[in-house]
Structure 1
């Protein structure tokens, strides 16, 4: 056999039919996509400037405004993952020397600090132990001391499972002439979220959490005060791809070419948002809460605690304290290998101390709670754990 035939033979072997296991994704994300979303994802493409696609863009914007409860005109999906939308909020509103105050009570607060610093911000920090939240007095003290241009808070901290209250924070920020930025990656579509009522000026999210859409497209919104700061910049936005003054021309009335939008991901996001609207926000929030409470009750019956106090606990993401003497990673490996269930290990300060369990979107159903608790009991029993 000559060299060319060997290369062809190897190439043929390496391109066998793709096959993936039937995982139940109950970790911090992604969650399993809804079947209707997967069906939409597989539909044939049209052009990104096709009249029918432009109509679809309008529908996505309207549905996204509903999901976030906002009237912000600049509410769009960024053609990238949630981290790009996160960066986009900062890239568009920070100029060198701007003071940015970041509330850090988990991993993603640190990411905001890193990103803001790369855009030349004078970054200041408010810190709380991982799993706790900030109260209004603490936020007021931070604003009084630092007088920032932007206050950045993580509404749903995926590393800890804590939900930061945002009621009245927007009013506080207006008192100090400060923009309020909210990370809603693990809350949009699963947890009460009222951007306009709460006075949130900027927000971003991901498609792969409570929206049950594959990762790769990211909700993004700027309110009027944030758009005003963008329009008054003295320097260009230092990230061309995420420059919303340019992207808005594609998503606005002009429909000016900026980049080739991911056609099929927009199909998928539209269907995911239709599912939110079909169910209704209040019903969807209640479903996530009910499913989470079933899980928390099941854990309590097993003698297992949650890391976050009940009143601040995210229904979409629970940090479960690993029982003493149990190898947390061994448990996640067994759940994956023997039951096709994925849960997440702890991140950052919670590494080795907690599991992260997501009950998001399509996966937030009682039967998944029953399945996970049953499997977890069996695995923990093999590891020598018995409920006290």
Structure 2
């Protein structure tokens, strides 16, 4: 087979305005083109220490154990649950969308006893119901998503950590879709483990997952090596794992590499670390409060623009994610035809939905490098043109005008 059969990769320059991934910040892409280093090189381990320091304010924490999992956001979710839970432990899942179901699936694979606290899609779970469920089932771990892109809702988390600690449970939060775009207050909320991803509000590529772990949860994870699994201390000194059912996702082993011990676990994904480092530098350089405000302004503008076009916005305004907006597909409009025209005619991607919302909702994301006024206006203008071409009656310019008013308010 000729080596040039397929040619160089030359993807279209598409504006990614769906629920993620989004277009990466140019600074992140430039950082990822830097030369590789060996995993024990002092320059490399120095960058690792910088990454830990950079992500603490992004997570809203002072946790010593703040680092990266090599893999997509789901790798960090699985690493967290498989390292916190043992077979037979009870996992209480706060379930308000597709990614609550993912938490359940991972828990089932671990062999945990699953308790679901579910509400209809488009709603969030009141804290008093979470408190009652914790009292009723006495879980080992309580797991929740922060912002679930399937429903575009953000679960309030104030008080969750205190409830868990009072009950002797550990708390886990998946903040993949909100980290760097909405405030994550790990210490204030008292959450034990929080994980994220780069490909949404942080404006990077998928493939590296930031994580932060409280001292309390870290002690539990590290103790499982010899207390729960009976591994000899001599084996521990030689870097033996904790036999939790996964080698790659054993946080105790990964933490050994991110500690002063620098015990080998796997070859660090150098290029992804460079990218994650630059994502954090971009976010902190902008200022977190300014960044959160930028995402909130973009989300309000998408919502206002959609309503200006005569469309219905999905879900409860009180609990809407700032960075992803669900729009109900109007009766008689082919949702996939609209998405196809947006892509083919304007090189803009918007999202579809799944589960109960399949064929009923579009999802528009304005986050990271794409949470910008001009990109929101371009997307709304293109959506109006496509809707009119598909036979949906809307006032010319109404969506863009409404979004502009939102920005000016």
TM-score (norm 1): 0.96
Matches of 2:118 and 2:270, distance apart in 1: 41
Q: Secondary structure at the match of 1:100?
A: strand
Q: Secondary structure at the match of 1:230?
A: helix
2:85: which partner in 1? 94
Q: Which of 254, 265, 269 lines up with 2:272 in the alignment?
A: 265
Structure 2: segments with no counterpart, 5+ residues: 230-242, 396-409
How far is the alpha carbon of 1:138 from its aligned partner?
0.9
Q: Deviations over 1:19-76 (max 9, x none)?
A: 1101001111111000100100111112121111111101101111110011111111
How far is the alpha carbon of 1:136 from its aligned partner?
1.2
1:68: which partner in 2? 59
What does 1:39-54 correspond to in 2, within 5 Å? 39-54=30-45
Mapped pair 1:361 → 2:358:
no
1:226: which partner in 2? 217
2:401: which partner in 1? none
Matches of 1:310 and 1:138, distance apart in 2: 21
TM-score (norm 2): 0.91
Q: Deviations over 1:302-341 (max 9, x none)?
A: 1112112111000111111111111111111110111100
Matches of 2:217 and 2:333, distance apart in 1: 47
Q: Which of 287, 304, 307 lines up with 1:300 in the alignment?
A: 307
Q: Deviations over 1:142-171 (max 9, x none)?
A: 112111111111111011110000011111
Matches of 1:262 and 1:387, distance apart in 2: 49
What does 1:108-119 correspond to in 2, within 5 Å? 108-119=99-110
Matches of 1:190 and 1:276, distance apart in 2: 9
How far is the alpha carbon of 1:232 from its aligned partner?
3.2
1:4: which partner in 2? none
1:327: which partner in 2? 334
1:339: which partner in 2? 346
1:386: which partner in 2? 393
2:161: which partner in 1? 170
How far is the alpha carbon of 1:97 from its aligned partner?
0.7
How far is the alpha carbon of 1:13 from its aligned partner?
2.2
What does 1:173-184 correspond to in 2, within 5 Å? 173-184=164-175
Q: Which of 125, 129, 140 lines up with 1:138 in the alignment?
A: 129
1:3: which partner in 2? none
Instruction: Work out whether residues 25 and 204 of structure 2, in 8 Å CA contact, stay in contact via their aligned partners in 1.
Output: yes
Instruction: Work out whether residues 80 and 251 of structure 2, in 8 Å CA contact, stay in contact via their aligned partners in 1.
Output: no
1:283: which partner in 2? 290
Instruction: Work out whether residues 32 and 272 of structure 2, in 8 Å CA contact, stay in contact via their aligned partners in 1.
Output: yes
How far is the alpha carbon of 1:198 from its aligned partner?
0.4
2:17: which partner in 1? 26
Instruction: Work out whether residues 142 and 170 of structure 2, in 8 Å CA contact, stay in contact via their aligned partners in 1.
Output: yes
Matches of 1:312 and 1:268, distance apart in 2: 31
Q: Secondary structure at the match of 1:228?
A: helix
Q: Secondary structure at the match of 2:315?
A: coil
Q: Secondary structure at the match of 1:232?
A: helix
How many residues end up aligned between the 2 structures? Answer: 379
Instruction: Work out whether residues 197 and 206 of structure 2, in 8 Å CA contact, stay in contact via their aligned partners in 1.
Output: yes
1:315: which partner in 2? 322
2:4: which partner in 1? 12
Matches of 1:183 and 1:387, distance apart in 2: 38
Matches of 2:323 and 2:210, distance apart in 1: 18
Q: Secondary structure at the match of 2:28?
A: helix
Matches of 2:176 and 2:42, distance apart in 1: 31
Instruction: Work out whether residues 338 and 387 of structure 2, in 8 Å CA contact, stay in contact via their aligned partners in 1.
Output: yes
Matches of 2:385 and 2:217, distance apart in 1: 51
Matches of 2:130 and 2:151, distance apart in 1: 20
Q: Secondary structure at the match of 1:219?
A: strand
Matches of 2:120 and 2:394, distance apart in 1: 28
2:257: which partner in 1? 250
Structure 1: segments with no counterpart, 5+ residues: 1-6
2:138: which partner in 1? 147
How far is the alpha carbon of 1:12 from its aligned partner?
3.3
